[in-house]
Amino acid sequence: MPFYDEQGEPLDRIYLVQRSPRRFQLLRPISFLEAGQPESQRVEIPAHDPDRPAVGDNQTDLASVPPFLWGFIASYGRQTASALLHDRLSAEARRGDPATRIDRRRVADRLFGAALLDSGISLLRMLVMRSFVSVQKFVEFRRWQACAMVGHAVLGVAFVYAVIGVASGLWTLPIGSSPWMLVLVLLPGATMAVWWRDAVAMIVIVYAGAVFAPFILGAAVAQLVLLLAEGAVWLLTGLRGPVPVIGPTILARRTP
């Protein structure tokens, strides 16, 4: 058991208080010790201060998953403790030397993956979750690279669909539609080598994106349809109640 409570016993409960639709505070500290590592490698995850506003490092949104994707990966569950660990290590990386922030986040991302596996998350699900947080660090620390990586991933997914479409005869191209074209599906993965240490994360994102993109799009459309239906009911009932907003965790006005 990699997570422990404040007495050093295997963790069997996590004390959280909900401060707003998406913000929580940890009321009792926990710790993480990766399997096979010495005690000196234990990571302490301190409690938040409930007497202070739930902002900045004094709060957590658990796993940062868009609400419409909760059908695939929830924001809490077996990954709750791992998400708290990653939040803690990410905050430390953010406060550290700017020259080492990305390297410190790499350590956080690796430990996040190890904690997920030790918490009972499957290897595939762990790879998907770790890959997305691996790219997310560049959104915070190196925005231009994040944009380039997202663009590359989108092109990779589009290429996979194009090759499958040609090989299956859905449309034709001058280069033909031989079944051997399916080998080209591997090409986007090969191009991810340009991202070096983040190549594996990008490969996972491209092929997971290709598999799940239709379902993700469907979930997003369903969320929009629900919002439109809520708006229609709100109008027909004479503007009773609050103005509908998209998703179950977003408020027009933030709650401290």
DSSP conformational letter for 47: P
Q: pLDDT value at position 5?
A: 96
168, pLDDT greater than 80: no
Largest CA distance in the chain: 68
Q: Which amino acid is at 239?
A: L
The verdict on 123 and 180 lying in the same domain is no
User: Of 142, 157, 178, which one is at a domain's C-terminal end?
Assistant: 142
User: Of 123, 142, 161, which one is at a domain's C-terminal end?
Assistant: 142
Q: pLDDT value at position 215?
A: 92
Does 64 reside within a domain? Answer: yes
256, pLDDT greater than 60: no
Q: What is the pLDDT of residues 186-213, one digit of tens each?
A: 999 999 999 999 999 999 999 999 999 9
Q: How much of the chain exceeds pLDDT 90, in percent?
A: 70
Mean pLDDT of the chain: 89
The verdict on 152 and 201 lying in the same domain is yes
The verdict on 154 and 135 lying in the same domain is no
Q: pLDDT value at position 21?
A: 87
Give dist(CA 146, CA 198) in Å, integer: 11
When divided into structural domains, the chain yields a total of 2
Q: Which two tokens stand for residue 60?
A: 């957590």
Give dist(CA 100, CA 209) in Å, integer: 30
Does 249 reside within a domain? Answer: no
Looking from the CA of 156 toward its CB, the CA atoms found within 13 Å total 25
Q: Which two tokens stand for residue 161?
A: 């669909």
pTM: 0.87
Q: pLDDT value at position 87?
A: 94
Q: What is the pLDDT of residues 125-162, one digit of tens each?
A: 999 999 999 999 999 999 999 999 999 999 999 999 98
What's the average model confidence in pLDDT over 2-8?
94
Q: Which two tokens stand for residue 26?
A: 């940890």
In the chain, the DSSP E strands lie at 3-4, 16-18, 24-26, 30-32, 43-45
Q: How many CB atoms lie within 10 A of CB 240?
A: 9
- Range(s) of the domain holding residue 183: 146-226
CA-nearest of 81, 64, 85, 82 to 73 is 64
CA-nearest of 45, 77, 84, 39 to 62 is 84
